[in-house]
């Protein structure tokens, strides 16, 4: 019985782990990572003209003007 509870507990915790962003969805984690990488290059992350805010590929790193 204890083994079953331990396995269920481990599976519950595994469900909290954020999976890799496969598919290019602009979720919080993807936008935070892209923003951090862009700022490290001296720019800021912006949504491209006519871009879909739900697709990470539609964001670009713009350097300072």
Does the residue 35 lie in any domain? yes
Q: Which domain holds residue 56?
A: 25-65
The predicted structure's pLDDT at residue 3: 60
Report yes or no on 6 lying in a domain: no
* Predicted pLDDT of residue 20: 53
Q: Can you give the pLDDT at residue 24?
A: 87
**Structural domain contains residue 4:** no
Contacts of residues 12-21 at CB distance under 8 Å and 24 or more positions apart, as own/partner, are 21/56
Is residue 15 domain-resident? no
Give the span between the Cα atoms of 6 and 11, in whole angstroms.
9
- Domain membership of residue 62 (yes or no) is yes
- Number of folded domains that form the chain: 1
What is the reported pLDDT for 50?
94
| CA 17 to the chain's CA centroid | 12
Quick one: average pLDDT of 17-21?
Answer: 50
What tens digit of pLDDT does each residue of 21-59 get?
A: 556 899 999 999 999 999 999 999 999 999 999 999 999
Is residue 43, in this structure, part of any structural domain at all?
yes
């Amino acid at each position: 019985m204890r083994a079953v509870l331990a396995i269920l507990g481990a599976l519950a915790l595994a469900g909290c782990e954020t999976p890799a962003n496969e598919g290019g969805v602009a979720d919080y984690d993807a936008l935070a990572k892209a923003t951090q990488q862009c700022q490290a290059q001296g720019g800021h992350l912006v949504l491209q003209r006519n871009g879909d805010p739900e697709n990470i590929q539609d964001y670009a790193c713009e350097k300072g003007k």
